Structure 1
């Protein structure tokens, strides 16, 4: 067994350059009356410890932090320049590809956000995609609100773009339970036609800004009028009022029986949030009670989250017989960081509120095969689940689309009311494989290391998730019975989501989904204590 003393617990497991200036210091062009008595200076290639600039803020918060035992905020008077200098040193210390960051003068950037945007590599993968597509920030208060309670502002709609440029096609992917959208009768597959009398196909900057704000940036209490078209062609109009939405990570838990009598467990799993732990345990216990033969996990919209929860789910799928003496995930950081111990398959419940292990064992299904439904929104901790199980020869059958390609993680780091996500680690499974930055690809005849046995199919918005006739689930059930992919006649109207810059340039102004950006996480935080009485 592996020592849990050094087990890192995950809280959550998604862009411009400037020319290099010569030696010399920036005086912090964006200073205010709260600046420190003497500003630091920038010298190319010379990095002071990030601790020298930590919590020195242009706009320091006052009062107590409700998310840190009501302790006073750590902020002290600083400037935008000191915030930039902290980001510069912190990135040099922790960024996975720190030697690929250009050391540009912080004074050459108009804001802290603009400076952070370029503190990353601009190298590309073999496919031509940027190696780092997961560099972002969010307000710290928003981070804690979601990580501790799973609450986000909105209508409870999770969107899917078929096309985000005119002619646009924006459809409902799934809904949160008991949300404003669910309560007015929206369903998966509904297509947005108009918001506040503005067509979804508007191509003016003002119209696009209004749509982006109404669709993807509402705060609790905001009210907007929608016109939608249902799958049956019916058009409906209604008003939605945004609220604080409690996410429901696990949905549609069911046991299906095939024509040949095979019992198949199915669950839709949307995010590796800590609040999902009891829901996953409940689902697994239900599957055990129903004595299922096979399992289908629908991860098509699961953008990631807790690496620890990913490990727990892997254990609950495979069980002790298949995971004993193997590790789940070996993290790899830059050469300035010490090597960490391998991440084990976690077989116990975790008290995520206090980051503590418990003595409560997890249930398991002891399966040698698992079916996973995927799209390019299947990301990060979801991909770690697939790769981690493949590392111990649990057969993973991937049904759907190529995954997003994020074998990376980070520790969300807070400074001056902003939480920063910058890639700090990658990882490999027990067999030493972890290079899937261009995605894990379902294939009937795998040939390459990132290929996974399975069937490549388009997402199906014309059926509800969990419906036996829905294309991905139907294909999984067919594969379970026949050990092969079904023959699919592709519709001429079938389209996959498109986000390419070329399409944006050629077609018009894009709408931008904001929500999934911070779901693409696989974040490591403080060490998880060993279970009581476990000194292995």
Structure 2
């Protein structure tokens, strides 16, 4: 069994060679010989922190780096054993000799299942790594690097369409008044819509996703509602993110409706989320429209707090928000309740949370609604709070992981799944509004609506919000959406070279000790 010490770090998104190979491993001032045998594994502790390039000093939290001199081969052996110990589907990994891989990235890429979901999607589409420094900056303080915006790539090949999905209030985009709905026509003089050479595509992709801080790029844009174009210049830099992008009260003839755009369940979001619900609690809210269309996830315990703040104490007392399920090597834990006190992120621990005491909630979704966002949907459905989805099928990630550092890289591999109070947790193809056309996930009451980049958040004519308000009054849907939009997945066309938009790897389910 893997012990509790590992679980307390939980932060809830070559064919095998039959013959044995003898590999020499050096580090810790000495040399070790490890016999590689297919299906036979040493403890991951034998290889941990034995690095090709050891770090010195401490991280941004003040923790001293534990690294000692090692090798890429030692790092690969750690990845192999760690995956065998903790990966949810460890018995579906094809065991491959770590000596056959010259770097950790390519080896980590093969340490996952190759199975498919019922709809034919990859069963594990959430396997990734990033530098530990970047992970800590983003998850702990909300600091990321870029322009402070999220692109929406409606079409990735000619004729392309690139829009701004949203801007952070403190980023370079907001500084030049570049907001939701703006269309990008040129980047550094290259035509976004029709350019189709490798050299032009390299320029476009470099401008969309700058590789380092301090890069400057020029954009020809047409703002939402404008007929004229203008040129803006942005320099990539550190951006302190805001988790709440809108928090409004909509007055209707049948009572006040709260509207909240919530974009991440990361630790830094807790104070903002509680503040938003404190404001709503004071406004006699009769219904809530919770906009999670771009929320890729974060901490499961903050998702639990959000569930409590929606449903209130009467509906949640003694109830399970989620029961976490590990592989058969890890002992089960007590279920995650609906937390009624703060302390899952950056808020002062132990303070009673506000609550709206609602028996239903309208949730706006797209394919970028993922992980902890889906846990909110599933957790509320488990206690019979009516969840009405407006938008598109969610991403389908009923899974989580322990972000784990080794030698300066933090690895994210699926290590848990979860079920609600009714024992349900099978939604690998997402949740779908009931009139969705095409491939379906778990069908939920609501309406299929395409994302609307022609209106700002909170605009009563914005398609998803408008449909939610209509459904609230009439219980009916407009014609179902056919076109799909997703920030992180570009629909391929018949011809032409693609440009790409970076996804948010941290928008996944993560859990920490409460």
TM-score category, normalised to shorter length = over 0.9
Does 2:19 correspond to 1:23? Answer: yes
Measure how far apart 1:44 and its partner are. 1.2
Q: Following TM superposition, by how much is the alpha carbon of 1:36 offset from its aligned partner in structure 2, in angstroms?
A: 4.9
The 1:254–1:92 alpha-carbon spacing in structure 2 relative to 1, beyond 3 Å, is: same
SS at the partner of 1:435? coil
Q: Tell me what 1:364 maps to.
A: 355
Task: Tell whether 2:156 aligns with 1:164.
Answer: yes
Among 460, 465, 474, the alignment partner of 1:468 is 460
- Which stretch has the larger CA shift, 102-111 or 74-83? 102-111
In structure 2, the CA distance between the partners of 1:277 and 1:91, relative to structure 1 (3 Å rule), is same
- Distance in 2, matches of 1:80 and 1:455, equals 50
Going from structure 1 to structure 2, the CA distance change for 1:239 and 1:34 (only over 3 Å counts) comes to farther
* Structure 1 CA distance for aligned equivalents of residues 504 and 291 of structure 2: 17
1:67 aligns with 2:56: no
- CA positional deviation for 1:32: 9.6
Given that 1:26 and 1:107 are in contact with CA atoms closer than 8 Å, whether structure 2 keeps it comes out as: no
8 Å Cα contact 1:96/1:424 also seen in 2:
yes
Q: Counterparts in 2 of 1:33-72, with a 5 A limit?
A: 36-62=30-56, 64-69=57-62, 71-72=63-64
Instruction: Name the residue aligned to 2:248.
Output: 254
| 1:183 equivalent in alignment to 2:170 | no
Q: Which residue of 2 aligns with 1:318?
A: 311
Aligned with residue 263 of structure 1, among 252, 256, 259? 256
- Superposition TM-score, scaled by structure 2 size: 0.93
Deviation at 1:320, TM superposition (A): 0.6
SS at match of 1:507: coil
Change (3 A) 1:445 1:45: closer
1:193 matched to 2:185:
yes
Counterpart CA distance in 1 for 2:169 and 2:503 is 17
Kindly indicate whether the alpha-carbon contact (under 8 Å) linking 2:213 and 2:238 is maintained by their aligned counterparts in 1: yes
Of 268, 271, 292, the match for 1:299: 292
Query: SS of the counterpart of 1:503?
Result: coil
Q: Distance in 2 between matches of 1:270 and 1:123?
A: 30
Counterpart residue number, 2:330: 337
Compare 228-237 and 383-392 and name the one that shifted more.
228-237
- The Cα of 1:501 is off from its aligned counterpart by 9.4
Are the counterparts in 2 of residues 10 and 522 from structure 1 also a CA contact under 8 Å?
Answer: no
Q: Check 1:198–1:283 CA distance in 2 against 1; reply closer, same or farther (3 A cut).
A: same
Aligned to 2:426: 435
Question: Which residue matches 1:522?
Answer: 509
1:187-215 per-position Cα deviation (integer Å, ceiling 9, x unaligned) = 21111122112222433334333322321
Q: Does 1:453 align with 2:449?
A: no
Which of the residues 54, 73, 76 maps onto 2:68? 76
Cα drift, residue 483 of structure 1: 2.1
- 2-side partners of 1:214 and 1:34: how far apart? 43
Deviations 1:383-433 (A, max 9, x none): 000000000000011000000000000000000000000000011100111
Query: 2: CA distance between counterparts of 1:412 and 1:301?
Result: 21
1:531 equivalent in structure 2: none
Q: What is the deviation of 1:158? A: 0.8
**How many aligned residue pairs are there?**
508
- Determine if the alignment matches structure 1 residue 507 to structure 2 residue 495: yes
Deviations 1:432-474 (A, max 9, x none): 111110010011599x981111001100000001111100000
Quote the Cα distance in structure 2 between the aligned partners of 1:212 and 1:424. Answer: 33
Deviation for aligned residue 1:243:
1.7
Answer yes or no: is the 8 Å Cα contact 1:162–1:496 preserved in 2.
Answer: yes
| Distance in 2 separating the partners of 1:500 and 1:283 | 30
State whether structure 2 residue 129 is matched by structure 1 residue 141. no
User: Aligned partners of 1:335 and 1:11: how far apart in 2?
Assistant: 17
Q: Which runs of 4+ in 1 moved over 6 A?
A: 8-11, 31-35, 498-502
Q: Does 1:392 align with 2:383?
A: yes
Question: Deviations 1:479-507 (Å, cap 9, x if unpaired)?
Answer: 1111222x24879xx55349889937x42
Q: In terms of mean alpha carbon deviation, does 221-230 or 262-271 score higher?
A: 221-230
Separation in 2, partners of 1:226, 1:119: 40
Gap runs ≥5 in structure 2: none
RMSD: 2.7
Question: In the TM superposition, what whole-angstrom CA distance separates every residue of 1:107-158 from its partner, at most 9, and x where no partner exists?
Answer: 2223110000000001001111110000000000001111110000011111
Please list every run of 5 or more consecutive structure 1 residues that lacks an aligned counterpart in the other structure.
529-536
Counterpart mapping for 1:84-103 below 5 A: 84-103=76-95
Separation in structure 1 between the aligned mates of residue 181 and residue 234 of structure 2, nearest angstrom: 17
The TM-score, its normalising length taken from structure 1, stands at 0.89
Aligned to 2:343: 350
